[in-house]
Chain A
Amino acid sequence: MSGALLSLRNVGWQAPVGADILQHVSLDVAPGEFVAIMGRNGAGKSTLLDIVAGLRAPSEGSVTIDGQPLDAWRLSERARVLAHLPQVLRGDLSIRAEAIVLMGRYPHASRWFESEDDERIAHEAMVRCECLEFRQRALSTLSGGERQRVYLAACLAQQARLLLLDEPATFLDVDQQLQCFSIVRGEADKGAACLAVTHDVNLALTFCTRLLVLAGRGIARDLGAAEALDDPSWLRTFSSRLDLERGPSGSWVRYR
């Protein structure tokens, strides 16, 4: 597919102890898409995201960004195109929140300290993630949700065209979860391709344009958001206790 920013062809990954985690995964993601990567624990969601981020080399198959194989990119150039938010990040750092967000500018600047422009971009990212008020505080003094917003702001400050987020709503309160997903949707609407691992089916249905369900070492379902609402059979992958509820103002997933 020529319009794809990200392409995976026949990607597989084997754990060091020998078990296949992923096999024959092929996937194209175009600019403007916001893809929810879903699946049960151990389905390989984070592994898939790590492979796309270049953190794990696939044991087979190829990953390309802009048609260029992932390992052919210079690291610093790749970091200007691709931003990744890991699932678990440290909290007990004495680094100040604003300095974390400015790390998103490192790939863009060859100079030692960030420019005024970099500071402006970091500032805007913090405003959008509602974490500007604690920009001066050490990361270790922030709550889990506040930290997560700082790290998300750092990813936005990177101004990447491909955003990879591993459970970005972790630790966030309900309002902030909605905020987080609408920020990412905003990035997709501005032309970024976004992939987010999430367990929250309602967040995915509300904000994402496409749902990718991993099961059985591969992609079990690959649906557009509208399709997912028409045919709720994909919910069976997660639990038999989920149902799609249709109402006059929209549809949502409820528990049985």
Chain B
Amino acid sequence: MLMRRRSVARWIGGSALLFALAGCLLPFVGPSTLDWSLVLRRQDPDWSILIDLRLSRTLLGLFAGGALALAGALFQSMLRDALATPYTLGVSTGASLGAVIAIALDWGSVAGVGGIWAGALSGAVTILFVVMGAATRHGQLSSSSLLLAGVAINSVCAALILLVHGLSGISKSFAISHWLIGGLDAVERPTLALYILIVVSMAFLIVHHARHWNLLAVGEAWAATRGAHVRQSLLQGYLAGSGLAAFTVALTGPIGFVGLVVPHLLRRRLGGDDRVLMPCAFLHGGVLLASCDAIGRAILAPAEIPAGAITAFIGGPHLIWVVRRGGTR
């Protein structure tokens, strides 16, 4: 069945509603019960626990999960490969390497989160071009060699992260370890606002070109004779996807799996039309990560399980179950 307009509206509208509901309800999940009389009078500590800690974490989770899922959907369309995500391409690990170097050089104390962002972005973009350069022969870029190069450079970056980690002093080393575990921490309001602004505008840009991603998913020759500027679109797509991953990784540390599992599950339900898939992937990815974070902070309270671990616990078995049930589809 072709997705009729009404069904498209229902899917995107429903997903948006879920996203909004998650934003409203998840801040109330946590290790301690809130004292409503304090919250309603906007008095600390409960008011600031709700707003500065839990709401901030929920919003970060919603937009970080959305960014990662959208980047995954985008890379899967561009590379025509179900395994393509910013992680498998090495871009996220490159961003991690950049962020870890930034932490080790103490850029964070000089420029705040901007320092970590600068490190992650330059790491991601450098690795992107290294991987693309390694996979290009005679001006032709093949997606299988791109993934192979990504896997190879991934391990190089991981080794370099260990090296930087080992070379930095005790306090830096602790900060790096903490960051590498990956998870959502409350961030300051201006940072969060800037991050959301960046993610939303990049997501808008990507979804706006959804018809080009549809064409490219069939093939580059197919896209080129149907009005898409192939090279330009691919370059924009790679940069935008890497940017989404880098900005996110800098704030959350490496969180895998959302980018792989969310687009994959949705693609089975919705078909491959990126005009529907991409907005839904963004919204569901956000809900998934924010919910996993909420579960992680409530389930073993007062201990916390990082959101990335929960997504892997839930997403991994679920993906296998869906793939097996789906048979050859």
A35 CB-CB contact with B under 8 Å: no
Instruction: Verify A82–B225 contact, CB threshold 8 A.
Output: yes
**Contact present for B217 and A95 (CB under 8 Å):** yes
Q: Does B139 contact A (CB under 8 A)?
A: yes
A135 interfacial by beta-carbon distance below 8 Å: yes
Question: Which residue of the partner chain, among A98, A99, A107, contacts B272 with CB atoms under 8 Å?
Answer: A99
Query: Which residues from B are CB-within-8-Å of A96?
Result: 1-2, 271-273
Cross-chain contact of B138 among A16, A94, A113, A119 (Cβ < 8 A): A16
Report Cα–Cα, A224/B200, bound state, in Å.
59
Structural contact, A107 and B227, CB atoms closer than 8 A:
yes
Contact A75 B228 (CB under 8 A): yes
Q: Mark B134-152, 1 if CB is under 8 A from A, else 0.
A: 0000110000000000000
Query: Does A83 make an interface contact (CB < 8 A)?
Result: yes
Given contacts A82-B225, A86-B219, contact A94 B275 (CB under 8 A): no
Partner of A84, one of B2, B8, B139, B221: B221
From 30 to 85 in chain A, residues with beta carbon under 8 angstroms from any chain B beta carbon are 50, 53-55, 75-76, 78-79, 82-84
Asked if B211 lies at the interface with its beta carbon under 8 angstroms from chain A, I say yes
Q: Which residue of B lies closest to A86 (CB)?
A: B221
- CB-CB contacts of B203-245 with A at 8 A, as 1s and 0s? 0000000110011011101101111110000000000000000
With both beta carbons as reference points, the residue of chain A lying nearest to B268 in the complex is identified as A94
Q: Is B267 an interface residue (CB 8 A)?
A: yes
Q: How many residues in A have their beta carbons less than 8 Å from beta carbons of B? A: 38
Q: Tell me whether A53 and B221 are in contact (CB under 8 A).
A: yes
Helix, strand, loop or mixed for chain A's interface? Answer: mixed
Out of A84, A89, A98, A164, name the residue touching B218 (CB < 8 Å).
A89
Kindly provide the distance from the CB of A59 to the nearest chain B CB, expressed in whole angstroms: 13
Q: In the bound complex, how far is the Cα of B221 from the Cα of A125, in angstroms? A: 21
B2 touches A98 (CB 8 A): yes
Closest to B2 in A: A98
Chain B nearest CB from A217 CB (Å) reads 20
- Of the stretches A136-144, A178-186, A193-201, the one at the interface is A136-144
Q: Which residue of A lies closest to B8 (CB)?
A: A113
Q: Does B325 contact A (CB under 8 A)?
A: no
B5 interface residue, CB < 8 Å from A?
Answer: yes
Is A17 located at the chain interface by the 8 A CB criterion?
yes
Q: Are B225 and A138 in contact (CB under 8 A)?
A: no
Q: Could you say which of B2, B8, B267, B268 contacts A135, with CB atoms under 8 Å apart?
A: B2
**Does the CB pair B271–A99 fall under 8 Å?**
yes
Judge whether B41 is part of the interface by a CB distance below 8 angstroms: no
Q: Is the CB of B273 within 8 A of A106?
A: no
Q: Is the CB of B2 within 8 A of A99?
A: yes
Are B329 and A140 in contact (CB-based, < 8 A)?
A: yes
Smallest Cβ-Cβ distance to B225: which chain A residue: A84
- Whether B218 pairs with A95 at a CB distance below 8 angstroms is yes
Do A158 and B219 form a contact, CB below 8 Å, given A94-B267, A136-B1? Answer: no
Question: In the complex, which residues of chain B have a beta carbon less than 8 angstroms from the beta carbon of A75?
Answer: 224, 227-229
Given known contacts A95-B214, A99-B271, A113-B275, A50 and B221 CB-to-CB distance under 8 angstroms: yes
Q: Residues of A contacting B211 with CB < 8 Å?
A: 106, 112
Q: Let me know if B172 is at the binding interface, CB within 8 A.
A: no
In the assembled complex, the Cα of A222 lies from the Cα of B217 at a distance in Å of 37
> Do residues B329 and A106 form an inter-chain contact, with CB atoms below 8 A?
no
Contact call B215/A106, Cβ cutoff below 8 A: yes
Chain A residue at smallest Cβ distance from B80: A90
Chain A hits for B139, CB < 8 A:
16
Tell me whether A106 and B227 are in contact (CB under 8 A): yes
- Report B-chain residues with C-beta under 8 Å of the C-beta of A192: none
Contacts of B229 in A (CB 8 A): 75
Given A89-B219, A95-B217, A96-B271, is A54 in contact with B225 using a C-beta cutoff of 8 Å? yes
Find chain A residues with CB under 8 A from B221 CB.
Answer: 50, 53, 55, 84, 86
Contact partner of A103 (CB less than 8 A), chosen from B80, B138, B218, B268, is: B218
Contact of A113 among B5, B267, B268, B328 (CB under 8 A): B5
Given contacts A82-B225, A94-B267, A104-B226, contact A112 B275 (CB under 8 A): yes
Whether B225 contacts A95 by the Cβ 8 Å rule is: no
Across the interface, which residues of B come within 8 angstroms of A226, CB to CB? Answer: none
Across the two chains, which residue of chain B brings its CB closest to A164? B225
Q: Closest CB of chain A to B5's CB: distance in Å?
A: 7
Contact of A100 with B by CB under 8 A:
yes
The CA of A32 and the CA of B322, in the complex, are separated in Å by 51
Contacts A54-B225, A78-B227, A89-B219 known; list 8 others, CB within 8 Å: A16-B138, A55-B225, A79-B225, A89-B218, A93-B272, A94-B272, A103-B215, A104-B226
Can you offer 14 A-B residue contacts whose CB atoms are under 8 A?
A: A55-B225, A93-B272, A94-B268, A94-B272, A94-B329, A95-B218, A98-B2, A99-B2, A103-B214, A107-B227, A112-B210, A113-B8, A136-B2, A138-B329
Interface residues in chain A, defined as those with a beta carbon under 8 Å from any beta carbon in chain B: 16-17, 50, 53-55, 75-76, 78-79, 82-84, 86, 89-90, 93-96, 98-100, 102-104, 106-107, 112-113, 119, 135-136, 138, 140-141, 158, 164
The 6 closest A-B pairs by CB, nearest first: A95-B272, A79-B227, A84-B225, A16-B138, A76-B227, A94-B272
